[in-house]
Chains A and B, each alone.
Chain A
Amino acid sequence: MSKPRNPYSFPAMLRRGIITENPVLVQTLGMCPSLATSTSVSNAIGMGLSVTAILICSNVMISLLRKLIPDRIRIAAYITLIAGFVTAIEMLLNAYLPSLSESLGIFIPLIVVNCIILARAEAFAAKNTVYRSFKDGIAVGLGFTFALVLISSVRELLGSGTLLGFPVFGANYPDATLFLMAPGAFLVLGFVVAGFRKITAKKEGK
């Protein structure tokens, strides 16, 4: 550490959101959608980007209103705003990406109660400027997407023998359906988190 780095520069925030403070792999937030929507890589990307879009909108909006919203009703105000953005995104997905919205199903409306979004609102957007909150939304959203893609690549590869729908192991691969179901999701999540921590710990020289 030769010179002090600006902790709110975009690269530093990206690094925190995706690696050192990854919402799923490090903070273990948002477990339910991470387990449920990681059955295929395309689902994971769709879910990750939907959450990113909502996170950016809600972070910017909440940061914009942070001095106007009275403290005692802030959670109600946040949830109302988040619910509005989620409903809007759900309608847009229904209209323009119907196959994705069909495969994600109930998990799009459930983004309203996704704790990553409320956590960023409460822990970051409510205390920081609009521009920083905007960057935070991108960083944390991409961190969530990255974690989902990691988990879903393993699950899709083992569970269906494909990656992004393309066959990898050939037609004779016997699908390991376990990995598409909940127990497999927990197994993969555990191993991915362990592997991720091992690698990041090594990098930090611990």
Chain B
Amino acid sequence: MPRSYLRLFQAIVTLFIICAFVGGLVGAVNALTADRIFDLKLQKTEAAMRTVMPSGEIFNEIGDVSAYGFDSNVSAFYEALGSDSSCIGYCVEAKPTGFASQITVLVGLSFDGTVQGVVITDCSGETPGLGNRVAEPAFTAQFNGKGATLAFSGGGAPAANEVSAISGATYSSRGVYEGVSSCIRAAISYTNANGGEAK
């Protein structure tokens, strides 16, 4: 066998062993941490859902939502069950585009699409000090009690159905507004598809 083949063979074997070692290492760490990461994620979502839907006890994710014609930025839909296991409303998650990234908003809604609460679960890609201020309660509380007529106020005093942007963060604010609007529409179309009331 010529020498050059030998060297090629040596390179392939070395890389193969390194890849196998790294694969084993990553696999081992993954096995060690996967459950914990999953639990933490679940806890975080549950805690967020409890803030937007305080009387909710159990949250059931509706897996297949293709029948309801939700906006494309709606990423998850949950039925919130109260203490007597009857459905008391919905928690809807949407991922609208803000200024520089996707913002994740979680909205608690009643059957007719009235907003009970809004929490921003992720705006880490937005500008610190400007865009990421959409997570502050002062901004998100504006949505409470608003419904199908929700509108965005570019400036000036907002009307009863309007929310106003954080100055200097219009894109991020508008992103959140669009996300919440999609959640409202999702709640209404889900209620309608199930015969006007909850199942």
Interface residues of A (CB under 8 A from B): 39, 65, 68-70, 72-73, 76-77, 80-81, 83-85, 87-88, 91-92, 94-96, 98, 102-103, 105, 159-160, 175, 177, 180-181
Assess the A77–B15 pair: CB atoms within 8 A: yes
Cβ–Cβ < 8 Å partners of A76 in chain B: 15
Q: CA–CA, A180 to B131, complex, Å?
A: 12
Do the beta carbons of A91 and B30 come within 8 Å of each other?
A: yes
Question: With A70-B7, A84-B25 in contact, is A180–B128 under 8 Å at CB?
Answer: yes
CA distance A85 to B129 in the complex (A): 32
Which residues from chain B contact A65 at a C-beta distance below 8 Å? 18
A84 CB, nearest partner CB in chain B, Å: 3
Contacts of A39 in B (CB 8 A): 128
Q: Is the CB of A177 within 8 A of B7?
A: no
Whether A95 and B129, one on each chain, are in contact in the complex, defined by CB atoms closer than 8 angstroms, is: no
State whether A81 touches B22 (Cβ < 8 A): yes
The binding surface of chain B is classed by DSSP as helix
Other 7 A-B pairs with CB < 8 A, given A80-B22, A87-B29, A181-B127: A69-B18, A80-B15, A84-B21, A87-B26, A102-B122, A102-B124, A181-B128
How many angstroms from the CA of A159 to the CA of B130 in the assembled complex?
12
A22 → B minimal CB distance (Å): 26
Q: Are A92 and B129 in contact (CB under 8 A)?
A: no
- B residues lining the A interface (CB < 8 Å): 7, 10-11, 14-15, 18-19, 21-23, 25-26, 29-30, 32-34, 36-37, 40, 44, 122, 124-125, 127-130
Determine whether the beta carbon of B15 is less than 8 Å from that of A181: no
Of A68, A76, A81, A91, most buried by chain B (CB within 10 Å of CB) is A91
Q: Which residues of B contact A98 (CB under 8 A)?
A: 40, 44
Residues of chain A with a CB closer than 8 A to B124's CB: 102-103, 105
Instruction: Using known A-B contacts A70-B11, A94-B33, A102-B124, determine if residue A177 contacts B129 with beta carbons closer than 8 Å.
Output: yes
Q: List 16 A-B contacts (CB under 8 A).
A: A65-B18, A80-B19, A84-B22, A91-B30, A91-B33, A91-B34, A94-B37, A95-B40, A102-B124, A103-B124, A105-B124, A105-B125, A180-B129, A181-B127, A181-B129, A181-B130
Question: Which of B23, B25, B129 has the most chain A CB within a 10 Å cutoff?
Answer: B129
- With both beta carbons as reference points, the residue of chain A lying nearest to B12 in the complex is identified as A73
